[in-house]
Chains A and B, each alone.
Chain A
């Protein structure tokens, strides 16, 4: 059934007749790749300053990016057909590892998030950021869209099971990101607005019981700190006060690369990881922030463009979900550092130091490229 759909000709595929370019033969979306390269280069410059001119940190991050690009290219080579074929197995394996984490997981600070196999340690929840949307998109790609109520229910179940397992690790941030990535698929599939608004009303209505019964003390504390960082100046509020000071004191022009006092004199905590945007804002000013946001916006628009030109509903839904998830990273990170949102462990995508998110994000962009080049495959 899916095969049949994919063979349907699509309007706007005027370039079908043209011989495939090297890029399309390699399944590379040139504009997206260029934007990503610009972003990662910019990120490395900021990181050099944020890590206290530590070339080692830059080299390490460069290596992560290299691995990320390899994964991106490899991910782009896999046909969407294959992703759909693997989807149920990936999903079952993912859920199984999450259950395994529950029993055999290792972790730190009261959270069990990792699975240790020999000397290799990995975080199954990270993989689920891709597997969940793939599974939901796979499930819906065979249905008539917009999906009927019972398919919506099944899709929600596909989302809730892994999200619930991750929530109890506990890892609220990742759990919400995964739930969002699954829900974005449903949204792009065109579920009725009444579901969406209904869910919003439900979310607002459940805020109070959630505060009372679901949120843990440290989570409540983070929200309270966000609302009033001055209440705990030297404790939890410190990060927010210092990051706001860093951003604000950067002004329009910024204090200059490697001369931000907040970041260089260690006032800013986590300056090279989750709070790196504060370093960028302090040293490059609002100009630097605008440049970063422009890069992000172009990547997002390219993602949406790829979705609009995708050949199959699976590809479309994946493109939409991946793009929106990427946006959630940006929004949550920049919002939390600026004191708009509570502090959750979400990195600034492709700028914050760290390997895990780079791999996941690049794999996501790999799938996006697979979507963007899928149509050319139809010819062969």
Chain B
């Protein structure tokens, strides 16, 4: 027992323990002091900064996208509106298991590979905590399914947005253009503030040209949200300014008449009001359903449109450049009169061909193939226009020379963009010696003047340019930049007149006489149009060669590949006394002008009377 006492000393142990307790308490107090200091520094010293941070956590500045302006035709028919559409979006930061959520969503609603592909692209350029759309246009049923499963899918949101809709679909595809989702390049170019909250932008056509007006101004609201981004209440609100509503000159009935008359052929119709320069119809066929593009077209649909031989995405009315052919003859005649080279009475002998002095090459008149001879031994201006005599204009062209030809034709708007308020307009070609040297680096050959004088060779014009030229003829020289836009929020848009084309009144009358004869004359090239007509229409037919025809070769329409047939053209205005409409029409590979002429009658009838009884000649 004594050895235990000697070895284990409770008093000493107790003393040591007390000392250790003191040490422990000291350490505990020191560490608690550190903790307290930390909390003091967070809660007192840095209180302001953390309070700000906490507020900015819960208060979010939310952009309020403006409502896009509507587009109407001249009669108030809606051409582009906005419809509520429900889309399925994902906030990646809020999704615990991203892949699992996508798989789950795929089981709930149809989601194709193409959706996923586009979704991944959008995902790459999102802002943090931004809801990235995965599916658009959810059906009622899909929305219900998602609502039921919502609690299992954090970070998945179904939200409503106004989506562009084109009730007329294909009919106005090229006239209006369309909006589409903002792509990377556009995101870079557009004003970041104004487009915060906007997902669509005009891609082409009127939608793009008037993007700024249609878009409106963005609004903002301060909202209190929880960590999942759900809005709990609105603290402050600055309303967005909606985009302005646009009324176009387009007339849905005229547009429809042109569209239906073109049918399944490739071609373009432009109708213009010569008094105002307003575009009454702008059709390019085939068209396409613009609604497909609004939320990103599927690659299948897109490649079908892109790869079609008929190039439906190509706006023939402003992008298509065609040899204007004989449609320039009235303008050539005017050049002859104004330059004093011809008078209405002066004549040119017509054996059915023309030969340059000192050259054996025969430039044939189109009539030669049909009659084996010319239009008449001597052809005057009226006959030359009415029967589209090539020989008369070969001679005039040669005497006028190519450079003066360009000088006289350019006021009609040829060779230059018309400035129409849409996108992608091409300028065509009004050839001259300078043009050829600058563009091709070659000298001009006299034979090329001969081709140019009947609108062939290098000369190219868009249907829009031809319509504007026709409008200049119809208004006896008044020139205006053509416009699709008629009214903005009910206020008419006035287009300033350009410097007019000066010409003698009797010269206009002479031209009109010839053009009236085209339709109303016994031997007019479009005389079948006069059947049952109740007004006077002035017009000019045209045919554009697609492939060159060798000397002495015979063009046989039946044997020629459909794609190599001539383009049919026609320009016209009516009523001749006080024209209210001018049209230019092209039917690709129509074979000849007779493919185009009936379209003009139907379009003009519809404009003047609201409908057309005209039947195509069999």
Asked if B54 contacts A234 (CB within 8 A), the reply is no
Cβ of B17 and Cβ of A316 under 8 Å apart?
Answer: yes
- CB-nearest residue of chain B to A301: B25
B51 in contact (CB, < 8 A): yes
- Nearest A residue to B18 via CB reads A308
A266 in contact with B228 (CB, 8 Å): yes
Task: Give the complex CA separation of A198 and B9 in angstroms.
Answer: 27
Q: 8 Å CB contacts to B: which residues of A264-292? A: 265-267, 281, 285-286, 289-290
> Is residue B341 within 8 Å, beta carbon to beta carbon, of the partner chain?
no
Q: C-beta contact mask, A321-364 vs B, less than 8 Å → 1, else 0?
A: 00110010011001100111000000000000000000000000
Assuming the contacts A251-B51, A266-B228, asked whether A338 and B35 have C-beta atoms less than 8 A apart, the reply is: yes
A146 contacts which chain B residues (CB < 8 A)? 16
Known contacts being A5-B10, A190-B17, A251-B51, is A335 close to B24, with CB within 8 Å?
Answer: no
Closest to B19 in A: A190
* Segment of A25-33, A131-139, A239-247 in the binding face: A239-247
* Residue from A188, A265, A331 within 8 A of B226 (CB atoms): A265
Say yes or no: A4-B4 contact (C-beta < 8 A), given A244-B42, A248-B42, A286-B39: yes
In the complex, which residues of chain B have a beta carbon less than 8 angstroms from the beta carbon of A290?
A: 36
CB neighbours (8 Å) of B7 from chain A are: 144
Would you call the interface of chain B mostly helix, strand, loop, or mixed?
A: helix
Contact B128 A320 (CB under 8 A): no
Partner of A304, one of B9, B21, B43: B21
- Cβ of A307 under 8 Å from chain B: yes
Nearest Cβ on chain B to A144's Cβ, whole angstroms: 5
Within 8 Å of chain A (Cβ to Cβ): is B58? yes
**Does any Cβ of A come within 8 Å of B300's Cβ?**
no
Enumerate chain A residues within 8 angstroms of B128, measured Cβ to Cβ.
Answer: 234
Whole-angstrom distance between the Cβ of B8 and the nearest chain A Cβ: 5
Interface residues of A in 294-328 (CB under 8 A from B): 296-297, 300-301, 304, 307-308, 313, 316, 320, 323-324, 327
CB of A219 within 8 Å of the partner chain: no
Given the known A-B contacts A293-B32, A301-B25, A320-B17, are A286 and B40 also in contact in the complex, defined by CB atoms under 8 Å? yes
User: In whole angstroms, how far apart are the Cα atoms of A290 and B37 in the complex?
Assistant: 11
**Nearest-neighbor residue (CB-CB) of A255 within chain B:** B54
Instruction: Assess whether B503 is interfacial by the CB under 8 Å rule.
Output: no
Q: Does B93 contact A (CB under 8 A)?
A: yes
Q: Tell me which residues across on chain B come within 8 A of A285, comparing CB atoms.
A: 43
A293-B58 in contact given A145-B13, A308-B21, A320-B24 (Cβ < 8 Å): no
Using Cβ atoms and an 8 Å threshold, which residues of chain A touch B39?
247, 281, 286, 289, 334, 338
Q: How many residues of A contact B (CB 8 A)?
A: 53
Q: Complex Cα distance A334/B128, Å? A: 31
Partner of B24, one of A144, A248, A286, A304: A304
Establish whether residues B227 and A266, one from each chain, have CB atoms under 8 Å apart when the complex forms: yes
Contacting pair A188 B20 (CB below 8 A): yes
**Which A residues are CB-close (under 8 A) to B93?**
234
A244-B50, A248-B50, A265-B225 are contacts. A334–B35 as well, Cβ < 8 Å?
A: yes
Task: Please report the C-alpha to C-alpha distance between residue A350 and residue B225 in the assembled complex, in whole angstroms.
Answer: 32
Contact check: which of B17, B28, B36, B224 meets A308 at CB < 8 Å? B17
Closest to B92 in A: A234
CB-CB under 8 A from B50, the residues of chain A are 244-245, 247-249
Task: Say yes or no for B38: interface residue by CB 8 A criterion.
Answer: yes
Given contacts A8-B10, A234-B128, is CB(A249)–CB(B4) below 8 Å? no
B28's nearest neighbour on chain A, judged by CB, is: A327
> B58–A267 contact, CB under 8 A?
yes
Q: Which residues of B contact A338 (CB under 8 A)?
A: 35, 38-39, 42
Of listed A242, A249, A267, A285, residue having the most chain B CB within 10 A: A249
Chain B residue with minimal CB distance to A249?
Answer: B54
- CA of A290 to CA of B43 in the docked complex: distance in angstroms? 12
A251 touches B24 (CB 8 A): no
Q: How far is the CA of A8 from the CA of B55 in the complex (A)?
A: 64
Give A195 Cβ to nearest chain B Cβ, in Å: 13
Q: Are B53 and A335 in contact (CB under 8 A)?
A: no
Q: How far apart are the CA atoms of A293 and B17 in the complex, in Å?
A: 25
Q: Is A182 an interface residue (CB 8 A)?
A: no
In the assembly, what is the distance between CA of A218 and CA of B573, in Å? 81
Chain B 209-241, CB-CB to A under 8 Å as 1, else 0, gives: 000000000000000111110001000000000
Instruction: Tell me if A187 and B31 are in contact (CB < 8 A).
Output: no
Contacts of B47 in A (CB 8 A): 248-249, 251-252
| Contact A190–B10 (Cβ < 8 Å) | no
Q: A250 an interface residue at 8 Å Cβ cutoff?
A: yes
Whether a CB of chain B sits under 8 angstroms from the CB of A155 is: no
Minimum CB–CB distance for B419 against chain A, Å = 51
Contact between chains at A304 and B25 (CB < 8 Å): yes
Chain B residues with CB below 8 A from A4, complex form:
4
Q: How far is the CB of A290 from chain B (nearest CB, A)?
A: 8
- B167 to chain A: closest CB distance in Å? 43
Partner of A245, one of B4, B38, B53: B53
Report chain B residues within 8 Å CB of A307. Answer: 17, 21
Bound together, the chains give a CA A280 to CA B2 distance in angstroms of 58
Query: Are A281 and B4 closer than 8 Å at their CB atoms?
Result: no
Decide: B43 and A331 in contact? CB cutoff 8 A. Answer: no
Residues in chain B near residue A372, CB distance under 8 A? none
A24 at the interface (CB under 8 A from B): no
Q: Which residues of A contact B226 (CB under 8 A)?
A: 265-267
Closest chain B residue, CB of each to CB of A296: B32
Does B49 sit at the interface, judged by CB under 8 A? yes
Q: Does A261 contact B (CB under 8 A)?
A: yes
In the complex, whether A23 has a CB less than 8 A from a CB of chain B is no
Q: B31-88: which have CB < 8 Å to A?
A: 31-32, 34-36, 38-40, 42-44, 46-47, 49-51, 53-55, 57-58
Residue of A nearest to B7 (CB): A144
Q: Do the beta carbons of A188 and B24 come within 8 Å of each other?
A: yes
A234, A248, A340: residue with the most chain B Cβ atoms closer than 10 Å = A248
Selected contact of A190 from candidates B13, B44, B227, CB within 8 Å: B13
Whether, in the assembled complex, A51 has its beta carbon less than 8 Å from a beta carbon of chain B, the answer is: no
Q: List the 8 shortest-distance A-B pairs measured between CB atoms, nearest first.
A: A248-B50, A249-B54, A190-B16, A266-B227, A265-B226, A248-B42, A267-B227, A286-B43
Q: List 27 A-B contacts (CB under 8 A).
A: A5-B8, A145-B13, A146-B16, A188-B24, A190-B16, A190-B17, A242-B57, A244-B50, A245-B54, A248-B51, A250-B43, A261-B58, A265-B58, A265-B224, A265-B227, A267-B227, A286-B40, A308-B17, A313-B10, A320-B17, A320-B20, A320-B21, A324-B24, A330-B32, A331-B35, A338-B42, A340-B38
